Amino acid sequence: MAFMLTRFALCVSAATLASGVAHAQPITDVYKGKTITFLVGAGAGASYDFYARALAAHMGKHIPGSPKIVVKTTGGQSGGRDVAEAISNSIAPDGMTIAMTQQTIVLHQVLEPKFARYDARKWYWLGNMAPIRNMLLVWHTAKAQSVEQAKSNEVAIGATSTSSPTYIVPNILNRFVGTKFKIITGYKGVADLDLAMRRGEIEGRGASWLSAQLALATEVQEKKVRAIVMASRTRDPAAPDVPTLSEVMPDEKGRMVANFLAAESDYGRSVFIFASVPDDRARALRAAFEATMKDKEFLEMAAKLKLDIEPTSGDSLAALTNDVVGAPQDIIDLAK
């Protein structure tokens, strides 16, 4: 996948160079008749994909020239790191590509810097459509139906990779709470995890509670799955009885780690470009994103798809990124 994405990026770069588009062009001329590629570092058919397609269906009309926006999902392996690296290193910063990747990507830069060929402080954030309150859910036949029960009962949990919240949440519980989750990595995305759970290959999975409400609607209604912890700073209004990760920690050290890692929830469904995109194009894209968050048709579509919309500004995301990357080393070491 990384090779394919890099090859795609190089093609985009070559096409841009060949076009000889001048940065001084009026924005309408830049985007009229063009197509913007929306790279999504997650699997098709999951909540990231739903959000991306809803945004793509409406954001273009708010960009001068009304370009078409086409979504390309690249899979959720490595927390969507391929998209982060492509935006930072190989895709032309011409404003013709926007991106959304998994909300752990900034924390991943801090916690596993040797694997991060990007610096999120060099991104220009368009904004966030909604926070993601990640969780860990278990199938109704699992021997543990709570964090407490998981201390004495092994439960097989599926995950995409070690940099994904599907791995991070059960791993933190194992290390700080003493649970016995057996984490099995290698799944391509939430859809694969759900299929594996239905087949009995695994007994639970992480990701957002919204992803469960969307992709496991019948199972949620029939109480075949239940969330046992939320990896967020606050409880999810849709599941108010489920404790946060911080709340199940046995001591202050664990709570410090949990609160640091819970910063990922604030990134949610954030959209970004590289900071070196020409200022006029970057501002136009951010303004279009902000206008879309108030667009009646977009909001109606989101409501129909059961997608929560709680926008956060690009400036707020930039400030959060500086805080996360610049966190005190002792907190980072504890989180590691």
CATH of 2-131+267-335, one of 3.40.50.300, 3.50.50.60, 3.40.190.150, 3.40.50.720: 3.40.190.150
Res 137: pLDDT: 97
Res 264: pLDDT: 87
**Helix H segments across 60-216?**
81-89, 105-111, 165-176, 190-199, 209-215
Residue 308 to residues 54, 89, 264: CA-CA distances in angstroms? 12, 32, 17
What is the overall mean pLDDT for the chain? 90
Res 78: pLDDT: 65
**For 244-260, how does the pLDDT look when each residue is reduced to its tens digit (9 = 90+)?**
999 999 998 888 889 88
3-state secondary structure of 35: strand
Task: Report the percentage of the chain scoring pLDDT > 70.
Answer: 92
SS (H, E, C) 187-224: CCCHHHHHHHHHHCCCCEECCEHHHHHHHCHHHHHCCC
**For 203-228, how does the pLDDT look when each residue is reduced to its tens digit (9 = 90+)?**
999 988 888 988 999 999 999 999 99
- CB-based contacts of 161: which residues, under 8 Å, 6+ apart? 76, 77, 78, 79, 167, 185, 186
Instruction: Give the CATH class of 134-263.
Output: alpha beta
95 backbone φψ class: left, alpha, beta (φ>0; ψ -120 to 50):
left
**For 35-59, how does the pLDDT look when each residue is reduced to its tens digit (9 = 90+)?**
999 999 998 888 899 999 999 999 9
229 backbone φψ class: left, alpha, beta (φ>0; ψ -120 to 50):
beta
**For 317-335, how does the pLDDT look when each residue is reduced to its tens digit (9 = 90+)?**
999 999 899 888 888 988 8
Res 22 pLDDT > 80: no
Alpha-carbon dihedral 285, 290, 231, 225, rounded to 10 degrees? -100
Residues forming CATH 3.40.190.150 domain(s) in the chain: 2-131+267-335
Residues forming CATH 3.40.190.10 domain(s) in the chain: 134-263
Of 31-40, 73-82, 155-164, the range with the highest mean pLDDT is 31-40
Res 15: pLDDT: 46
